[in-house]
Structure 1
Amino acid sequence: MTNTAYKWSIDRYHQIIAAGILDDRPVELLQGEIIVMPPEGESHAYYNTEVAEYLRALLGTRAKIRDAKPITLPNDSEPAPDIAIVQPLGTVYLEHHPYPENVFWLIEFANATLKKDLGVKKEIYAAAGIPEYWVVNLQANELKVFRDSIDGMYREELTLTSGLIQPISFPEIAIDVRRLLRS
C-alpha cells in the first residue's frame, strides 16, 4: 500500500483559510502541499526587519516591500517569502496577492530552511518566471543570487560576501551586500 499526499489547489487552499481552519498557523502552499513554517529565530527576524527597512529607504515609492506575505504562483503554490519586492499596485492587492508578473525579486533568509530555500523554493520561483531570487545564507554569511529564469531554471547563480549588487529591475540602485549580511 502506498501513501499519497492530497494536493491542494490554490482555490481550495483559500477556502480552508477563509473557513479559519489554519488560523494561527504559519503555513504556505508549495506545489499543492501545505507546509508548516518553522518559528522565526532571532537572527532571521532581525535580518528580515533590517533589510526590509534598508530596501524601503533605497527604493522609496518605486516598489512595495512585503514582509512574509503570500504571493500567488501558477503551480499550486502560494509561498510567503521573507521579502517580496513587488509593483506598488495599492488596492489591487485587496483582490489578490501579487502574481509573478507583479514581482521584481524575492529574498529569503535561510538558516533552518536553507535546504528548502535553495531547493524546492528556488525551483518554484524559477518555474513561475520570477526574474530574480536571493537567498541570504545565515549559516555561511553569504548571499546567493539566482537570475535569468529560462525553462523553469535559473541560468545565472552568484555567491557574494561583499560589494554592491544591482537588482535586474532597478539597475540604478546599488545594494550593499554587507548590509544584507550584517545589518
Structure 2
Amino acid sequence: MTISTWKWTVDRYHQAVEAGVFDDVQVELLKGELVEISPEGIPHAGLSSDAGDYLRDRLGSRAKVREGHPITLPNNSEPEPDLVIVEPLGEVYITGHHPYPENIFWIIEYSNTSLQKDLEIKSKVYAEAGIREYWVINLKTRELNIFRDAVNGEYQHQVVLTDGRVNPLAFPEVEVEVARLLRR
C-alpha cells in the first residue's frame, strides 16, 4: 500500500489562514508541511523582545526589525521567526506581501524546546532560500550560533559565541554585543 501525503503551497496556506483554519493552533509552513510552533516561555519572550528593541536602537532607520511575523520563502515555507531584520519597505508589508528572501538581512531565533528544529530543519530551510545569515540563541546554554554563507541548501560557516561582538554581514559597520542578546 502506498501512502500519499499532501503538501501545502504558500497560496493554499494563506487561504487556510484567511479562513481561520488555524485560529486555535499555532503552526508555520516549512517545506510544504505544517509544523507546530512551540509556546514561548518567559525567558524566550522577554529576551527576544528585548533583543528586538536593542537591534532597533543599533540599526536605526537602516532596517526594520519584525518580531514573530511571517516571511515568505520560495521553498513552500512561511516560518515565523522570533526576529527578522528586513528592508524598511513600509507599505509593502501592509498591503503587498510578507518579506521575501531578497528583503531579509538576517534572521534570529531564540530557542529552548525547539532547538533541534531551529538548528537542523530551519537552518536548511533558510539556507535553501538564500538567507545570508541566521542566528540561533540557545536559551539552555546561553550561546549564540551564527550560520553564514549558504551554498546548495547548507550554511558553510557556523560559529558559536558566548561573548564579544559580532558585525552582521549586511551591516559591517554595526557592532552587536553578544552578551546583550544572551543577557549573560
Task: Pick the TM interval, shorter chain.
Answer: over 0.9
User: How many residues end up aligned between the 2 structures?
Assistant: 183
- Per-residue deviation at 1:34? 1.1
- Per-residue deviation at 1:5? 3.0
- Per-residue deviation at 1:136? 0.2
The aligned counterpart of 2:115 is: 114
For residues 142-177 of structure 1, what are the alpha-carbon distances to aligned partners after superposition, in whole Å with 9 as ceiling and x for unaligned? 000000111211111111000000000000000000
Over 6 Å off, 4+ runs: none
Percent sequence identity over aligned pairs: 54
- Could you tell me which amino acid in structure 1 is paired with residue 179 of structure 2? R
For residues 75-99 of structure 1, what are the alpha-carbon distances to aligned partners after superposition, in whole Å with 9 as ceiling and x for unaligned? 0000000000000000011210000
Asked whether 1:57 is paired with 2:69, we answer no
Q: Whole-Å Cα distance in 2 between the matches of residues 115 and 89 of structure 1?
A: 32
Asked whether 1:133 is paired with 2:129, we answer no
- Could you tell me which amino acid in structure 2 is paired with residue 79 of structure 1? P
Structure 1 residue ranges without an equivalent (≥5): none
TM-score (norm 1): 0.97
TM-score (norm 2): 0.96
Q: Whole-Å Cα distance in 2 between the matches of residues 37 and 149 of structure 1?
A: 24
- Could you tell me which amino acid in structure 2 is paired with residue 42 of structure 1? I
Determine helix, strand or coil for the equivalent of 2:158: strand
Equivalent residue runs for 1:14-93 within 5 Å: 14-93=14-93
The aligned counterpart of 1:9 is: 9
Q: Whole-Å Cα distance in 1 between the matches of residues 149 and 39 of structure 2?
A: 31
The aligned counterpart of 1:163 is: 164
The aligned counterpart of 1:102 is: 103
- Per-residue deviation at 1:19? 1.1
- Per-residue deviation at 1:10? 0.4
The aligned counterpart of 1:174 is: 175
- Could you tell me which amino acid in structure 1 is paired with residue 37 of structure 2? M
For residues 86-121 of structure 1, what are the alpha-carbon distances to aligned partners after superposition, in whole Å with 9 as ceiling and x for unaligned? 000000112100000000000000100000000110
For residues 12-46 of structure 1, what are the alpha-carbon distances to aligned partners after superposition, in whole Å with 9 as ceiling and x for unaligned? 00111111111243211001011121111011001
RMSD, matched Cα: 1.1
- Could you tell me which amino acid in structure 2 is paired with residue 118 of structure 1? L
